[in-house]
Structure 1
Amino acid sequence: MANTVNIHDAKTHLSRLVDQAAKGEPFIIAKAGKPLVKVIPLDQPVSAKRLGFMSGQFSVPGDFDTLGQAEIEEMFGTHS
């Protein structure tokens, strides 16, 4: 979990915080206790941070790779 700092502390320690973020330690700046922004290194893929964000929300059927196969074969005339 990213470290949360209030905006005053972020201004006071910005150089140190940016150095840490650049080394892979992101931080969140909050105002009046409300998180506003997250500082992450530029080379860190944003999408990687979202991995698993819907974990447990849905399931993939076991036959996913063959779902609709008969209909597709019929549409394209590739009957086996």
Structure 2
Amino acid sequence: MQINMHEAKSQLSALVEKARQGEKIIIAKSGKPCVEIVPCQVQPRRQPGRYKGRIRLSEDFATTPDEVIDSFEGN
């Protein structure tokens, strides 16, 4: 659906709802397509501890912050 800017101003709530339902909404300015209304992609909330027990560190992994820094700096 393409709608001009002036109409879109008065029908914004309805246009947003149509976009949320999957309809393609394009707003035109002077008859030329200008922008498209698309729904946001909602990121799922992170769950702390989701990988608990799944990640293992090798025995020779650096155990102190200084060892980690040294390994990146090549010391």
Q: Distance in 1 between matches of 2:24 and 2:16?
A: 8
Alpha-carbon deviation of 1:42? 1.7
Deviating above 2 A after TM superposition, structure 1's stretches of 4 or more consecutive aligned residues are none
Structure 1: gaps spanning 5 or more residues: 44-80
> Higher helix share goes to which structure?
1
Alpha-carbon deviation of 1:26? 2.1
Alpha-carbon deviation of 1:24? 0.8
Q: In terms of Rg, which structure is larger? A: 2
Aligned residues: 41
Structure 2: gaps spanning 5 or more residues: 42-75
SS of corresponding position for 1:36: strand
The one-letter code of the counterpart of 1:32 is S
SS of corresponding position for 2:22: coil
Given the alignment of the two structures, is residue 17 of structure 1 paired with residue 15 of structure 2, yes or no? yes
TM-score (norm 2): 0.51
Q: Distance in 2 between matches of 1:24 and 1:41?
A: 8
1:41 matched to which residue of 2? 39
Q: Distance in 2 between matches of 1:36 and 1:30?
A: 5
User: Which residue of 17, 26, 29 maps to 1:28?
Assistant: 26
Q: Distance in 1 between matches of 2:21 and 2:28?
A: 21
Question: What do you get for the CA RMSD once the two structures are aligned?
Answer: 0.9
2:65 matched to which residue of 1? none
TM-score (norm 1): 0.48
